Chain A
Amino acid sequence: MSMQHYGYGEVHGPRAGEMSRRGFMRRMLGVGVGILSIEFLAGTLAFLWPNIREGLGGRLTVGTAASIATNYPEWTEGLAYIFQSKIFVVNVPAAKARVEGEGEVSQPVGDPGTDVSSDIPAVDRSVLALYRKCPHLGCQVPQLCDQSQWFECLCHGSKYTVLGEYRAGPAPRGMDRFVVEMEGDTYVINSGEIEDGPPVGTVTFDDRDSQLIPHCAA
């Protein structure tokens, strides 16, 4: 491409506003390197993405209500059944009775039922599977505290109700939970899916004031 320049006479090269072949190549090179870098980063991320999941991560069979009750009779009186040391399997009707009776359950609940779908509000469900890893900084939350009937994390004193709702302490939300499904009358936990705990301020059950009751964790 040539044109007349007022000073230089005939000149070769792209007209103003057009791109030279070399300029085009250079730009494409830049784009190519950019795309490659992004691919490299994304590939690295995908490569490092963990997919071998042992223990937590798969479908875990907990058992029937009857088998849990045989294993751990206190379950029918509202204490959480500790499954594979990582999960609280909460018998919701029994746990509510326990809180209302301040630790005493006159009518143990042997079979809470099969309402486990996550479409039902947590208070009305039969069974909840709470993840024992404290959403604050990850300590393992111990069994219900006798004085308060709350789950109280000893590390930094976060407190949760039997339904895993946040009540006090530095945690950012309630206890995380797993989806529970029924296979016949057997409870199965889908531990590959963790649901975030209910946000701070969620109160569906047990609205006692943290200041007014005794605690295990200060």
Chain B
Amino acid sequence: MTIEKRPNATADKTAPSQAPQVPTIERGGGPKLPGPPGVPGTERFRLLAYVKQESMVRVDKRPDETVLTWPHLLRAEFLMASLITMLLVITSFFIQAPLEEMANAGNTPHVAKAPWYFLGLQEMLSYFNATVVGVLFPPLYFIGLMAIAYIDRSPYKAARDRKLVWIFFLCLMVGGLLVTFIGSFFRGPGWNWVWPWEGLFFTL
């Protein structure tokens, strides 16, 4: 992919050694960009380049290395959309969505499972007090997730600068994955432990 770089392109702000020479500007001016070739005196001015930090919208923007949306971003989007469409059509052509007998309140299955994304929760219900897991956990999960952004406000983004959060979130995700897996593939009739090769009690 050829990427045209804009003339005054500069490196990112995380590498201070290569920090951009921010052009000095006079009042009412702006960094000059070349106008249409061969037409002197038609330089355009970049608009909206400077936003005061006290303003409503906080922007941590410096001159970046950029490319045009058309074609670079649109091409990527189009490619992805096509790939996913193909994947979806092919999958749907070959794999049948499950459908069992008609619902019957009087005929309890030997193991009743919630949809897969709730199976972690269901698995935890069998470990802890139902009120705690069933009632407190779901709201805490979403509120806790939202709170993350308001608690961890350190400016560091690289993994080496935020090992603790990194590992904490990893544990959370791996833990969630683990209980979901156990609930999905290792639980059979009576919510008893069943190895996947002894029988799968899982529908999508």
Is there direct touching of A and B in the complex, by C-beta distance under 8 Å? yes
On whether the beta carbons of A170 and B108 are closer than 8 Å, the reply is no
Decide if the interface of chain B is mainly helix, strand, loop or mixed. loop
Q: Which of A137, A140, A218 contacts B106 (CB 8 A)?
A: A140
Provide the A126-151 mask, 1 if CB < 8 A to any CB of B, else 0. Answer: 00000000001111101000000000
User: Complex formed: what's the CA distance from A154 to B131 in Å?
Assistant: 21
User: Complex formed: what's the CA distance from A62 to B140 in Å?
Assistant: 44
List residues of chain B with CB within 8 A of the CB of A85: 105-106
On whether the beta carbons of B191 and A156 are closer than 8 Å, the reply is yes
A114 CB to nearest chain B CB (Å): 30
* Stretch in contact with the other chain, from B37-45, B55-63, B91-99, B122-130: B122-130
List residues of chain A with CB within 8 A of the CB of B130: 136, 170-172
Question: Knowing A157-B192, A218-B190 touch, does A170 contact B110 (C-beta < 8 A)?
Answer: no
Number of interface residues of A (CB under 8 A): 16
Chain A, 10-36, CB within 8 A of any chain B CB: none
On whether the beta carbons of B108 and A155 are closer than 8 Å, the reply is yes
B109 at the A/B interface (Cβ < 8 Å)?
Answer: yes
On whether the beta carbons of B191 and A140 are closer than 8 Å, the reply is no
Chain B, 133-157, CB within 8 A of any chain A CB: 134
Number of interface residues of B (CB under 8 A): 19
On whether the beta carbons of A170 and B190 are closer than 8 Å, the reply is no
Chain B, 98-114, CB within 8 A of any chain A CB: 105-106, 108-112, 114
B189 at the A/B interface (Cβ < 8 Å)?
Answer: yes
A217 at the A/B interface (Cβ < 8 Å)?
Answer: yes
Q: A85-B105, A139-B112, A155-B108 are in contact. List 9 more A-B contacts (CB 8 A).
A: A136-B130, A137-B114, A154-B189, A154-B190, A155-B191, A156-B191, A170-B126, A170-B191, A172-B134
User: What is the interface of chain B, defined by CB distance below 8 A to chain A?
Assistant: 105-106, 108-112, 114, 122, 125-126, 129-131, 134, 189-192
Some 20 contacts from A to B, beta carbons below 8 A apart, are A137-B125, A140-B105, A140-B108, A142-B108, A154-B108, A155-B109, A155-B112, A155-B191, A156-B111, A156-B112, A156-B191, A157-B190, A157-B191, A170-B125, A170-B126, A170-B130, A171-B130, A172-B131, A172-B134, A218-B190
